[in-house]
Structure 1
Amino acid sequence: MVRRISIWVAGLVIAACAQVPSVQPQAVAQEAPAADYGFGVLADLAGTRWHGEPGEADKAHGQPADYSEWDWDLGGSVLVNRHVLEDGAYGGITYVQLSRTPGVLDYVYITSANFRTTGTFTLNPDGSWTAEEEVKGLPHVLKVRSTGRINPDGTMSTLSELLGDDGAWTPGHAFTYSQTDAPLPDLVPSGKASE
């Protein structure tokens, strides 16, 4: 039961990070400094709010929908994503900043379930993005990796995988996000550390 809950919560790591849209191919040389590349289309997320519907397999296991919103902080040097599950049982904050590598953004994700992750988003030339993160404080889950993209209809699709302490990658969560004006649900944290 603890492993099942750990995997479910770890998959939620992607709920915060999975809302990052793809970057359209740019005519920027690989050698360009990071300041010239910037946040790409991620900058357009500031001031937006999203509603994420879980995929059918996740719905069958009771996965709630996700809400998130994006804003700038620290004078526009950090992009912040706050997210809360529809039922208020879980949420997190992701801080995204430029790295010294063009097309790569660093992030840290802090959760209401008392675990955190650190990782990188790679903005791919084909318009997709990839993320890989190290998980700290969540039993049985070592890493999460994900892929995603903005679809032609303006929705965002994401898919994740989890690396367990047994060395095997297993399916994580699939979400489809749409922009919304609905407010984030109230977070009702348990105040307990994950087991």
Structure 2
Amino acid sequence: MNTPDLTAPGSLSVRATDSNQFAKGQGDNARSSNERGEESLPNRPQARVIHVVAVLVQDHADKILLVRKKGTDTFIQPGGKPEPGEDTLTTAARELVEETGLVISTDRFEVIGEHIAAAANEPGFSIVAQCVRVRLVKGEETQSKAAAEIAEATWFTPTAAAAIKAAPLFQDIILPLAVAEGTSVRG
């Protein structure tokens, strides 16, 4: 049986990729090229992406504030889509007030980074999240109330948060960072 010579001029070569690259948001880098150096992306449906800001709120005892939207059973970090012309920190502060009633100055947020995950409440979508964190100090108001489209706003210990139904962004990325790195969750 003859094996085709894939190194011959004009033959197509495909670079192997880690199967987790698409989950990590690196799948767009997987390309095919021919001997002339022409590249093309593999045939696949256009990704459906939602751009959001997600806020990790921790109190002085490391409890984490999560919210659950009305009509859903999955907990997510407070946050949402930026308004036109709004920067990440302004979006974070606005969404915290709208969803939880917590008023936090933008200079208190620590930028964690951009992370990509499956959307919790929109099947078939991914989110690209600008993630920020704020730590509340002892004595600072931690009474949050569900507001806007939020049915529930609840404080969880990291152990309890690991046991609930939570968004992939939180469960797979943010919670492990928060637990592994203690008070610093830079990603």
Question: TM (normalized to structure 2)?
Answer: 0.25
Task: Specify the structure having the higher radius of gyration (Cα).
Answer: 2
Question: TM (normalized to structure 1)?
Answer: 0.24
